[in-house]
Amino acid sequence: MIKFLKLYEKIGIFILIIAASILLSLASPHFLQLRTILNIIAQGTYAAIVGFGMTLALTMKAFDLSVDAVMALTSVFVAILIPITGIPLAIVFSLLIASSVGMVNGLIVTKLGVNPLITTLAMMTIIRGVALLVVGGRQVIIADPQRIFRVIGTGRIFGVPNQIYIMLFLFIVFFLVLYHTPFGRHISAVGSNENAAKISGLRVDFIKIAVFMLVSFTAGVVGIVRTSQSLIGIPTMAPDFVLVVLTVAILGGTSLAGGKGNLWGTLFAGIFIAMIYFGLNLLGVQIFYQLFAVGLVLIFALFIDGIRNRYLAMAKAKGIRM
């Protein structure tokens, strides 16, 4: 059983993708077309990108429920700032604002000792309120006659949507950070045993704050990409998107128990969730049933994670090498 669970952790998401691919190819003759596959991957980039940040948080044995509110806040500010500062500075300032939300989350968790669940849940409500307050509850239309901003989310290079390049770039960055830097090893150490990490001299508070900032940064990136597609700053953007992000991170093999993240799994889980949405849209299933389906996938992922943690704990107690 332990060998099976360890194997599932490594290749489980690939098995799910293969199974979904077979079903979708039978359901639609257009599924195997390159353009369709690229569009599905492009749709999966949003959850995957924010999932990279969430994977770091779960590895640290924490999580962030405020990511969808940060996306909305970023959308509003980039729309407001573009006419004032120009597109490049508007993007930079908006990402700084997004990252500052993560910094506040981290400071509350580390300095005030508030549980990450309560902290990020409260911040989600506060940030949603701020986003609505800044624009008076209205959407902000972005004037982009030269289509410079719009190309971020709608352009293609060699036929591949730009958001796929953004996802791959961020994946490489996060992969190097988590697996090939001391900071990444410190994140895993904090998630494995925070007290031991403190005793060994690690700057646990700094690590936590930095991780929360990275989560918010990824949410900001997706907020900008989605805003560039609609050319509208939307203060109510992406309600319940955090459910999808958590599903992607956990389904990809990153455990709630902390200590070990699986970025490869997160990347492909984002694509798998996009395949689910594609299949349900193909069948004409309404949006609330689609959310229901994603919720079921999250329960499945949590069920597998619980079994895996239980068996691995039993194996460790019996002295079995893993």
pLDDT 10s per residue in the chain (322 long)?
A: 556 556 666 677 888 888 888 888 887 777 778 888 899 999 999 999 999 999 999 999 998 999 999 999 999 999 999 999 999 999 999 999 999 999 999 999 999 999 999 999 999 999 999 999 999 989 999 988 778 899 998 999 999 999 999 999 999 999 999 999 999 999 999 998 899 999 988 999 999 999 999 999 999 999 999 999 999 999 999 888 998 899 899 888 888 888 888 999 999 999 999 988 888 887 777 777 777 877 888 787 777 777 776 766 665 566 555 5
Helix, strand, coil content of the chain in percent (nearest 5): 75, 0, 20
Q: What token pair was written down for 172?
A: 């490489």
Which residues are CB-neighbours of 86 under 8 A, at least 6 positions away? none
Domains of the chain: 2-316 (1.10.3470)
Give the side-chain half-sphere CA count within 13 A for 12.
23
pTM: 0.91
CA distance 149 to 142: 9
Characterize 42-75 residue by residue with b for buried, 16 or more Cβ atoms within 10 angstroms of its Cβ, and e for exposed. bbbbbbbbbbbbbbbbbbbbbbbbbbbbbbbbbb
